[in-house]
Structure 1
């Protein structure tokens, strides 16, 4: 049983690592760095494809908490299953759950992403 689970986890990881260069194109190095940041911040997360994009969940049959994608912008986001950061001090009822990356990753952006991931997995 453990071997099948390990094999499935390895297959899922391979699928994500194959998808990132396809999806991110010339920004593949940024996509791979985003992948690394997520897994370094929360090593318990298991990567898998989720609606055709890299997603990260606590296990194979658990809901995806964090995802990355590339359309016009690089996107880093959380699903409704994540431990969302709710700022009670704001007058609105909006909860931030996705961020566009303007340019290349820098140290501050990497640190903020890691902080968000750690909070998301609670």
Structure 2
């Protein structure tokens, strides 16, 4: 909660391009601080989102690298394993992602290795999330 409060404070009073630039800087900084598989996943996902969903704005969300729509609502984010000392990082899609598929669908994906197959699957999910 403290990280989220700090994120909000850091952009207080900023609007438009200045706010987007500060949020982008925070996202890139959060990715740069990661190591190992956390760094690999976050770096790859940042590239995918930039390529497939350029309208999403990079920011941080509770310290996680995240990507928000034009209304500022987080659509997707990476949760590093180091944050909660878990076995693997996850790529998560929030309620604003358009992944609905019947009565139940996954919104969180564990990534234990960055491979071309993983990248391809995540690329498809990003495309679907913003469609």
TM over 0.5: yes
Which residue of structure 2 lines up, in the alignment, with residue 8 of structure 1? 19
TM-score, with structure 2 as normaliser: 0.76
TM-score, with structure 1 as normaliser: 0.81
User: How far apart, in 1, do the equivalents of 2:36 and 2:116 lie?
Assistant: 21
1:31 is the counterpart of 2:42 = yes
2:41–2:111 contact (8 Å) kept in structure 1:
no
User: Alignment length, in residue pairs?
Assistant: 112
1:85–1:119 contact (8 Å) kept in structure 2:
no
User: How far apart, in 2, do the equivalents of 1:79 and 1:17 lie?
Assistant: 20
User: How far apart, in 1, do the equivalents of 2:41 and 2:63 lie?
Assistant: 18
Structure 1 portions without partners, runs of 5+: none
Question: Following TM superposition, by how much is the alpha carbon of 1:110 offset from its aligned partner in structure 2, in angstroms?
Answer: 0.9
Structure 2 portions without partners, runs of 5+: 1-14
- DSSP-derived class of the 2:99 partner: coil
Which residue of structure 2 lines up, in the alignment, with residue 82 of structure 1? 97
User: How far apart, in 1, do the equivalents of 2:49 and 2:120 lie?
Assistant: 11
